Copies of this chain bind each other. A is one copy, B any other.
Amino acid sequence: MSTQHALLISLIEKPSSGYDLARRFDKSIGYFWHATHQQIYRELGRMAELGWIAADETAREATTQPTTQPAAQSTDNAAPEGNAVEKKNRKKVYGVLPAGRQELVRWVLSPGAGLDQREEILVKLRADAAIGPLGLDQEMLRLIALHEERLALYRNIERKDFAGTLDRRQKIQHALLMRGIQFQENWVKWGRELLPLLEKADKA
């Protein structure tokens, strides 16, 4: 399971609440691993039970040197001594415990599945091949637009975040972005070429 591990990474990059994570999964790491807020809260709960992470009031920290430091995170939420209040609803900031870090390393180095694609449109195209032209060009146009939009987004990120010289961390993150860019470029080009084949005959 990778959702937990994606969350661990996000938490290492920056200790966060479930809500923060949910928003972050709508961008950055969510671009290559999607998760909804319900999933996130559930996995946070499980990982807390497993001792991989902990909410701030409980034994926060222990890892030696997180690569990124949150720097100016409003320090006002201290009050460690007398809390005991248990306000039901207040923000819980989770941090990664040593066990969580270990688990992450273990998982990163364990062999993964690789190549098991699941793209709906490919199945639809196969159907279109089998049972006559159904007018898939409309759907295809829609998807091309989506991929172009995403491509533009990635290119903007590249321009903004990856100019100048990069350290190792940035180089890898840039490579991840490039993967996305190349994938989208490739997809759009392929889709455009395919388009003429999909028109329904009676359109003429």
Contacts and interface: CB of A to CB of B under 8 A. Distances in A.
A190 B197 contact: no
Given A67-B130, A124-B112, A127-B108, A118 B172 contact: no
Interface string A137-159: 01100110011001000000000
Interface stretch (A44-52, A73-81, A177-185): A177-185
A55 B86 CA distance: 60
Q: Report how many copies the assembly holds.
A: 2
A135 B2 CA distance: 19
A93 interface: no
Interface residues of A, number: 71
A180 to B, nearest CB: 8
B197 A175 contact: yes
Contacts of A111: 139, 142
Nearest to A139: B111
Chain A interface helix/strand/loop/mixed: helix
Interface string A1-44: 01001101100110000000000000001011110000000000
B173 A129 contact: yes
A146 B116 CA distance: 11
Given A32-B118, A147-B114, A175 B125 contact: yes
B120 A104 contact: no
A99 interface: no
A131 interface: yes
Interface string A159-178: 00000000011111101101
23 contacts: A2-B118, A8-B127, A29-B123, A29-B126, A32-B119, A34-B117, A34-B118, A67-B131, A67-B132, A101-B131, A108-B128, A109-B134, A109-B138, A112-B120, A114-B147, A115-B146, A122-B176, A125-B175, A129-B169, A129-B176, A168-B197, A171-B197, A183-B183
